[in-house]
Amino acid sequence: MDWKQEYIKRSKGKKNWWYSDFYKSRIRRFKDNPPVTSKHISELEYLIINHDFYKTLLKRYESKISEDAKVKWLEKNLRKKPNFHYHNENIYFVKLPLYLINPRTQNLSFYKPFLNDQLMLTLGGLDHRFKKYRWRAIYLFDFLTPNFYKLTAHVRENIIKLITIKTTKENFKKIKQLVFYNWKEIDNELLNLFFEEQFKRKLITPKSAIGIYRRKQNLSLEVIEKLKEIILTLKNGKYIIEKISD
């Protein structure tokens, strides 16, 4: 089906609706409701290839769309001229996001050793003094966090070692989300080293400490004791510890 013509036809049937209004409404529909029929999949692929500018649907439904649709998405985005601010935009905003959505891809367009190197270089900008490099690194967490477990053990280990020493007040929330989301995929020693470093940087607030303490099964006694100390700075800290220790 020619979905562009179908959307034009449908939008004309609605008062004060433009084509863009219609495809945006269909994107919202797929955000809330997964595709069921082959027709839904066909429409979803059209939206992903042509209108999913923030890669929202691509992140959610990559496993449901065909390899042909992924190839078309990649080819279309690589044809775009890079923004003059970012000479390597095709790597940072096209190839790396798609690679992180599916690190196990067999697509020959992806040379994994190169992309893994680029991933580490980009994440290395988390604490860069220039905002554009910090933003570029933070942007990748939307794709990295839910797919971290798909990366090889060696790459996962290197990422945790890197982000452990790159935390700042600006990026700690994103980094903490990755750690929490992938708690079981992180080696216990690396997990403890991560939190020990954050204590030194004074980035763990009482609220964060409560959330971490709830997951304490993989943490060392030293880390647990430091978490307790932070929680006890709260007026009802002792009560909270007793409550979440049950």
* Pair 99, 163 in one domain: yes
Q: Domain range spanning residue 61?
A: 1-79
pLDDT value for 114? 92
| Total of domains in the chain | 3
Q: pLDDT for 156-211, tens place per residue?
A: 999 999 999 999 999 999 999 999 999 999 999 999 999 999 999 999 999 999 99
Query: Does residue 103 have a pLDDT over 50?
Result: yes
CA 210/CA 137 separation, integer angstroms:
27
pLDDT value for 14? 75
Cα-Cα-Cα-Cα dihedral sign, residues 64, 66, 70, 73:
negative
Where does the pLDDT of residue 7 fall: very low under 50, low under 70, confident under 90, or very high at 90 and above? confident
pLDDT value for 86? 47
* Pair 91, 195 in one domain: yes
Name the residue among 62, 39, 32, 37 with its Cα closest to residue 49. Answer: 62
pLDDT value for 35? 92
**Which among 30, 45, 79 is the end of a domain?**
79
- How many angstroms separate the first and last alpha carbons of the chain? 57
Beta-carbon contacts of 61 under 8 Å, excluding residues fewer than 6 positions away, are: 30, 34, 35, 44, 48
pLDDT value for 125? 96
Single pTM value for the model: 0.78
Q: pLDDT for 33-91, tens place per residue?
A: 999 999 999 999 999 999 998 888 998 998 888 888 888 888 787 766 555 444 466 78
* Pair 126, 108 in one domain: yes
* Pair 220, 196 in one domain: no
The mean pLDDT of the chain is 89
Residues 88-115 have a mean pLDDT of 83
pLDDT value for 38? 92
pLDDT value for 138? 95
pLDDT value for 91? 83
CA 166/CA 187 separation, integer angstroms:
19
* Pair 118, 181 in one domain: yes
* Pair 130, 69 in one domain: no
* Pair 212, 190 in one domain: no
Residues 105-115 have a mean pLDDT of 83
Query: Does residue 240 have a pLDDT over 50?
Result: yes
* Pair 233, 219 in one domain: yes
* Pair 143, 176 in one domain: yes
**Which among 25, 49, 79 is the end of a domain?**
79
**Which among 79, 114, 146 is the end of a domain?**
79
Q: Where is pLDDT greater, at 131 or 4?
A: 131
* Pair 114, 194 in one domain: yes
* Pair 219, 110 in one domain: no
* Pair 159, 219 in one domain: no
Residues 234-246 have a mean pLDDT of 88
